[in-house]
Amino acid sequence: MSASQSDRARAFRALHERPGAFVIPNPYDVGTARILAGLGFEALATTSAGCAFGLGRPDGAITRDEALAHARSIVEATPLPVSADLENGYADAPEDVALTIRLAAETGLAGCSIEDATGRPGRPIYDLSQAVERVAAAVEAVQGLERPFTLTARAENFLHGRPDLDDTIRRLQAFETAGADVLYAPGLREEEAIRTVCASLGKPVNVIMGLAGTAFSVEQLAALGVRRISLGSALARAALGEFLRAAEEVRQRGTFTFAERAVSFAEVGRHFQQSRP
């Protein structure tokens, strides 16, 4: 374990302990990680969807080894602490989720998130008891590490057609009791729901912006009690959107006006030069 990894892990934990809310953006490759670092963000998070898109696959179609290799590349890209989106831990069994945590720590990550989504359409969310067992196993694995590691537990109801706020809060409270450091219910779009979730928990709450219907500012979210704000795949999808519009312009219209919006070589180079580890 290097001092740098330990320092990053402590710095990441400290971000959650100070007043207000901070944004943890989600790069999808080494280049975007360095650009975000150059812009002054204090921490980064991987996006499983962005990783999958880069491999030419839909969201949810990467393996644990691929996710961890991607995470390592982001960790090594900048001096910033990095948290990884590790979906459901790439396992159902609690002991296998614990193994994923230990492997994640070996990449130099400062933390990661574990979902209660199964990845199976017929049964999208784990039963509460199994979901809690999985978080408890992850917590036990974290406690066995030699440095801090911030574990985020996610309740996925709202992303899988189950907009049950009471059950979501019940799950988050159970994850908090099991020892998770940060709680996260992606898909919350209403101010009162966000406020209620934050007020129902004693640990920092993460919310995601960049989904349809999530038009809040950092200041507004902090006032609701949010501590951490992530962007998920929004930056990756924004980049792909511009790429598609440019390619369609060339293919369908035979024009090249998209180049007027392209960033200059000098600006890209400046970000890369400033943000090397």
Number of domains present in the structure of the chain? 1
For residues 45 and 48, what is the distance between their CA atoms, to the nearest angstrom? 10
Residue 207 sits at φ, ψ, to 5 deg, of -125, 160
Q: Is the pLDDT of residue 213 over 90?
A: no
CA angle (209 as vertex; 117, 69 as ends), nearest 5: 55
Percentage with pLDDT > 90 across the chain:
92
CA angle (230 as vertex; 146, 97 as ends), nearest 5: 45
For residues 259 and 246, what is the distance between their CA atoms, to the nearest angstrom? 8
- What tokens appear for 141 in the block? 């694995």
- What tokens appear for 95 in the block? 């002991």
When the pLDDT of each residue in the chain is averaged and rounded to a whole number, the result is: 96
Residues written for the chain? 277
**pLDDT tens-digit readout, 167-204:** 999 999 999 999 999 999 999 999 999 999 999 999 99
pLDDT score, position 246: 98
Find the DSSP H helices in the chain: 3-17, 30-38, 48-54, 64-77, 94-106, 128-143, 165-178, 191-199, 218-224, 234-248, 265-274
CATH number of the domain bearing residue 208 = 3.20.20.60
Q: DSSP for 187-241?
A: T--SHHHHHHHHHT-SS-EEEE-SSTT----HHHHHHHT--EEE-TTHHHHHHHH
Query: Of 186, 168, 273, which Cα lies nearest the Cα of 226?
Result: 186
The range of the structural domain enclosing residue 182 comes to 3-274
For residues 86 and 113, what is the distance between their CA atoms, to the nearest angstrom? 6
| Average confidence (pLDDT) over 214-229 | 96
Q: Is the pLDDT of residue 274 over 70?
A: no
**pLDDT tens-digit readout, 8-24:** 999 999 999 999 999 99
pLDDT score, position 269: 86
pLDDT score, position 277: 58
pTM, to two decimals: 0.96
